[in-house]
Amino acid sequence: MKRKILLIICIILFVYFSGGIIYNFIRKEDSVVEKKEDYITIKGYNYLLSENDSDIYKEEFNKLKNNLESENIDYKEYAESISKLFLIDLYSLDNKKNKYDVGGVEFVYPEIVDNYKLNVEDTLYRYMIDNSSGKREQDLPMVKNVIVKDTKDTKFKIKDNELDGYKITLDIEYEEDLGYDNKAEIIVVKEDKLLYIVEKN
């Protein structure tokens, strides 16, 4: 009799724990699927649009998407779009989780990404308070608009390669002026069919 009771208890415990494991696994799978659906991508490119991105970022991203998915890509417009997106993302600090959540990374030339991130973390994002709890109380900028003032053809040397590119001058406007940069000059280069930011002044 005791063996039967023990066996029944073991079966109940096994079913209970197995069910919990399966339930958690299904929930985890669902959350992964939901997370993927939060992003909009551009076919053939590593550019992502998130629900957390600002309205001005979403608007410019859609312009870039339309250009890159068209039959004839306008490379000047492509360069201007990634420059604007880069600045919007870089200087919109208020929607960042912490100083390691560096904006604009996807537009930067791959070989200089690590240096770029370290530089931003140690300068522009240095005093950003962590917002993992969602309770940060700190005045941080949000970009309201980026205006292209001038775009010129240029060349830029990377190692032994001289790449064609653009030198783009832009003005940055904020929702509230907190003393952050309001002008920028960006150099964009073309490598194969992709454009990358290699320099910002």
Mind listing the pLDDT tens digit for each residue in 64-80? 999 999 999 999 999 99
- Residue 161 in domain: yes
Residue 78: which of 200, 159, 191, 199 has the closest Cα?
A: 191
Separation in Å, CA 115 to CA 66, 122, 132: 31, 11, 25
Both tokens assigned to 3: 């063996």
The residue type at 117: K
Residue 46: which of 63, 31, 30, 61 has the closest Cα?
A: 61
- Residue 15 in domain: no
* Statement: residue 10 has pLDDT above 70: no
> In the predicted model, what is the mean pLDDT of the chain?
87
Query: What single string gives the DSSP state of each residue in 62-110?
Result: HHHHHHHTSSS--HHHHHHHHHHHHHHHHH-GGG-SSTTS-TTGGGB-G
The answer to which of 3-7, 43-47, 60-64, 136-140 has the lowest mean pLDDT is 3-7
The residue type at 192: D
The residue type at 96: K
Q: CA–CA separation, 8 vs 200, rounded Å?
A: 70
- Residue 2 in domain: no
- Residue 179 in domain: yes
Model pLDDT for residues 163-175, shown as the tens digit of each residue: 999 999 999 999 9
- Residue 181 in domain: yes
- Residue 84 in domain: yes
175 close to 141: Cβ distance less than 8 angstroms = yes
92 close to 174: Cβ distance less than 8 angstroms = no
Query: How many domains in the chain?
Result: 1
Q: In sequence order, which residues have a C-beta less than 8 Å from that of residue 148 and are 6 or more positions away?
A: 80, 83, 84, 168, 169, 170
Residue entry with tokens 């970009």 = 143
CA contacts within 13 A on the Cβ side of 112: 14
- Residue 25 in domain: no
Collapsing DSSP to helix, strand or coil, 61 comes out as helix
pTM of the model: 0.81
End-to-end CA distance of the chain: 82
Residues spanned by the domain of 115: 37-131+138-200
pLDDT of residue 170: 98
- Residue 23 in domain: no
